[in-house]
Amino acid sequence: MGAYLVERLVFLEWIRTLAGNEQVYFPQPLAESSFHFARVHSSSLLALEDFDDPHRTTIFRASACVPPPARILAPEGEQLFTFRRDGAGDCTLTPVLDSSRRILAGVRPCDLKAIALMDRFQRATIPDPHYLVRREHTLLIGHDCLHPCDRYCFCDAAGSLAWREGADIFLTPQPGARLLVEALTDQGAVLLAGAGFPACGEVEECRARAEARRPDPFGRRFAASLDDVMAAVAKGWDADVWQEQSMRCFSCGTCNLVCPTCSCFDVRDDFSVEDPDSGRRTRHWDGCMLENFAVVAGGHNFRKSPAARQRHRVMRKFVYQPHRFGGTSFCVGCGRCRRQCTVDIDIFEIASELLAAAGEGA
Amino acid sequence: MKAMDPRILTPAMVRIVEATDMTAHERFFRLRLPRPLRHAPGQFVMASIPGIGEAPISICCGPGDHDRLELLVRSAGSLTMAMQQLGAGDQMGIRGPFGTGFDLAEFEGCDVLIVAGGLGLAPLRSLIEPLLAERNRFGRITIISGCRTPADELFRDEMRAWGRAPGTRVIRLVNDTAHLPWDGEVGLVTAPIAGLDIPPATLAVLCGPPVMYKFVIMELAARGLAHDRIFIDLERRMRCGIGKCGHCQINHLTCCQDGPVFRLSAVEALPEALA
């Protein structure tokens, strides 16, 4: 497929050049310690971590950027269709499908996995054309992690660290401020073919060198296997942990919004102020932690308490979605929900407590 | 998995050919479809007015290779309120049909007990019509329909006509006559169940407000009807109909894909199904 050994700064310059002609997204610093995954412009500050810098002073927390790359594939407020009403009052509706090409670069293994899971979810039963058309025209440039992002990361425990599926190109940091750049798909190979990068003749060695650099354990570890965790969560419906961990929850929905496998939405209609005979239907990020998410006509709320909503969120990640979509945990261990939570509610702790409780019960 | 339909979230604009107020809050619509929906009884459509909004609405006409679509819309929010203003000649946006409905083959030869509370009669009408259309394929049919007052009763003339079909009994109830003329019974839909003959091969079908299910199920359980012989039609606020928006999720199930018609035995263990 093609593998290259490229100086990091040369690669970043190539990304910037690509961005001159097409939509390229990359993690970028937003404030002192936070990164967002955003469109690259000529003035964008691009950086990648250094193999030789174990303290990671040159790179920050780009790996856990917000919003997660998966959200670029289902953007907030995306149009589903536009409409126009004629003189007789009849409407013509035109679906909006975004087939412009995008490149999402610097996507970490946890986010590659999240996108693969969203692909599976969006293709299932009745496929969502708006997501899938955008996805079909999106290239992914993955980036390996040699260090956990911070003390909240548990990607290895969640089975995400080795994930490559979905990446068209994959980057692995190498000593001497270089990157191993591998094409994993034909589309990735085509994109790299014109870059003029020097070929790499020792791909296996480069990979092994990077892997040896990883600390062990890599991030937080569950006290048992991921399968055991998922089984423990499934058995935890009546556990006290839901109430204990939700007493301080504001139901702000941040955990939903930053989760790379959350995709729930609400739908809204608008007409133009200037021309009320035209308008659009759009969809908007929604979250099951918000108070009114499960309200039905007549006012009944099927998940009235924060504890019930917390349980639904955690069950959805470890039990419900895996049950329907191929058995893989939909929590990828990125730690974003814990990191962004204003009251420190931690899905890892919740799962760990349920695991401990299941152990006592056995 | 189905093939991708690029218009699955874009409604077709369908002409309304008849619109009448059935009560002060519910308006009945008959639409003429460009092509038959070929829906199963119990399925729903997403109905909308572009610029205003979209909501799941049960199909209330029987299935078949016809171009008719009938909906009963209760005024509950801004969209359904706006729909009360639509009349013959206007258009309504329609997507679907969605969800799983009833399989009429399973009803063959069985006694059928239908219990409807309020607006629950609308989706059940899509089942009652085909049952009565081929009356001799099925056993005895009992329909219990309850509503608050005589002014809230839906499909009154049709219910009277259903009751005249051979082997068919219709029990109409109100909670309160509210000083209005009333030729049915007064009480809750649970009350008549004790007096019915319910052989084990009966199929029971329930649709109504959440609180109704609990008491009707208790009543049917007391009569020994197995839970895989009881169907319930659940309501959730679906936004998409294609299993993506998350709003209708009931534990690991989605109401728009696995329902809205569920066998009680399939959902009774799910804590979020009925409460």
pLDDT, tens digit, 9 for 90 and up, residues B12-24: 999 999 999 999 9
Contacts of B2 in chain A (CB under 8 A): 125-127
Distance, in Å, from the CA atom of B95 to the CA atom of B124, rounded to the nearest integer, reads 20
Indicate the residue of B8, B54, B237 with minimum beta-carbon distance to A296. Answer: B237
- Contact between chains at B242 and A126 (C-beta distance less than 8 A): yes
- A345-362, pLDDT tens digit by residue? 999 999 999 999 998 765
Indicate the residue of B8, B236, B245 with minimum beta-carbon distance to A264. Answer: B245
- A32-74, pLDDT tens digit by residue? 667 888 999 888 888 887 777 655 554 555 667 888 999 999 9
Residue A300 has pLDDT above 80, yes or no: yes
Confidence (pLDDT) at A362: 52
Confidence (pLDDT) at B269: 86
Mean residue pLDDT across chain B: 94
Q: What is the mean pLDDT of residues A300-308?
A: 90
Residue A200 has pLDDT above 90, yes or no: yes
- Edge-to-edge strand list for the sheet holding B26-32: B53-58, B44-49, B91-98, B12-21, B26-32, B68-74
Residues 169 through 198 of chain A touching chain B, CB cutoff 8 Å: none
Q: What is the mean pLDDT of residues B181-199?
A: 94
- B26-72, pLDDT tens digit by residue? 999 999 999 999 999 999 999 999 999 999 999 999 998 899 999 99
Segment (H or E) for B195: none
Place of tokens 């962004």: A340
Indicate the residue of A93, A124, A279 with minimum beta-carbon distance to B11. Answer: A93
- Flag whether residue A119 sits within 8 Å of chain B, measured between CB atoms: no
Radius of gyration of chain B (CA): 18
Q: Which of A131-135, A161-165, A228-232, B266-270 has the lowest mean pLDDT?
A: B266-270
Distance, in Å, from the CA atom of B80 to the CA atom of B29, rounded to the nearest integer, reads 12
- B232-254, pLDDT tens digit by residue? 999 888 999 999 999 999 999 99
Closest CA–CA distance from residue A79 to any residue of chain B (Å): 11
**CA of A176: how far to CAs of A9, A24, A50, A208, B178, in Å?**
11, 26, 8, 16, 86
The dihedral of CA B23, B26, B27, B33: what is its sign? Answer: negative
Contacts of B246 in chain A (CB under 8 A): 263-265, 286, 288, 293
Contacts of B4 in chain A (CB under 8 A): 127, 129, 132
Q: What is the mean pLDDT of residues B86-90?
A: 97
Whether the upstream peptide bond of residue A67 has omega within 30° of 0, thus cis, is yes
Q: What is the mean pLDDT of residues A24-36?
A: 81
State the alpha helices, DSSP H only, in B57-194: 78-83, 104-107, 121-133, 156-163
Confidence (pLDDT) at A281: 98
- Contact between chains at B8 and A128 (C-beta distance less than 8 A): yes
Residue B215 has pLDDT above 70, yes or no: yes
Residue B266 has pLDDT above 80, yes or no: yes
Closest CA–CA distance from residue B71 to any residue of chain A (Å): 17
Indicate the residue of A91, A263, A288 with minimum beta-carbon distance to B244. Answer: A263
Considering chain B, what percentage of its residues have pLDDT values greater than 90? 90
Confidence (pLDDT) at A361: 61
Q: What is the mean pLDDT of residues A245-252?
A: 92
Distance, in Å, from the CA atom of A170 to the CA atom of A166, rounded to the nearest integer, reads 10
**Residue A297 binned pLDDT confidence (cut-offs 50, 70, 90):** confident
Confidence (pLDDT) at A165: 95
- Flag whether residue A94 sits within 8 Å of chain B, measured between CB atoms: yes
Amino acid at A87: G
Indicate the residue of B6, B54, B93 with minimum beta-carbon distance to A97. Answer: B6
Mean residue pLDDT across chain A: 92
Count chain A–chain B contacts defined by CB atoms under 8 A. 140
- A309-344, pLDDT tens digit by residue? 999 999 999 999 999 999 999 999 999 999 999 999
Please state the CATH superfamily assignment of the domain spanning residues B12-97 in this structure. Answer: Translation factors (2.40.30.10)
Distance, in Å, from the CA atom of B116 to the CA atom of B124, rounded to the nearest integer, reads 7
Q: Where are the domains of chain B?
A: 12-97, 104-274
Residue-wise DSSP of A266-284: EEEEEE-SS-TTEEEEEEE
Residues 271 through 330 of chain A touching chain B, CB cutoff 8 Å: 271, 276, 279, 281, 283, 286, 288, 293-298, 300, 302-303, 312, 315-316, 319-320, 323-324
Helix, coil or strand: residue A156:
coil
Which residue in chain A is spatially nearest to B243 when comparing CA positions? Answer: A126
Q: What is the mean pLDDT of residues A269-280?
A: 92
Q: Tell me which of A125, A132, A256, A278 to substitute to probe the interface with B (most B C-beta atoms closer than 10 Å).
A: A125
Closest CA–CA distance from residue A77 to any residue of chain B (Å): 14
Q: Tell me which of A121, A230, A269, A305 to substitute to probe the interface with B (most B C-beta atoms closer than 10 Å).
A: A269
Q: Nearest-CA neighbor of A133 among A190, A69, A80, A186?
A: A80
Confidence (pLDDT) at A58: 46
Confidence (pLDDT) at A29: 81
What CATH number does domain B104-274 carry, 3.40.50.1260, 3.40.50.10860, 3.40.50.80, 4.10.520.10?
3.40.50.80
Burial of B213 (C-beta count, 10 Å sphere; 0-12/13-18/19+): buried
Place of tokens 């504001």: A250
Considering chain B, what percentage of its residues have pLDDT values greater than 70? 99
Contacts of B51 in chain A (CB under 8 A): 83, 85, 269-271, 276, 279
- Contact between chains at B247 and A315 (C-beta distance less than 8 A): no
Residues 217 through 276 of chain A touching chain B, CB cutoff 8 Å: 237, 263-271, 276
Q: Tell me which of A118, A262, A267, A273 to substitute to probe the interface with B (most B C-beta atoms closer than 10 Å).
A: A267
Segment (H or E) for A105: strand A102-107
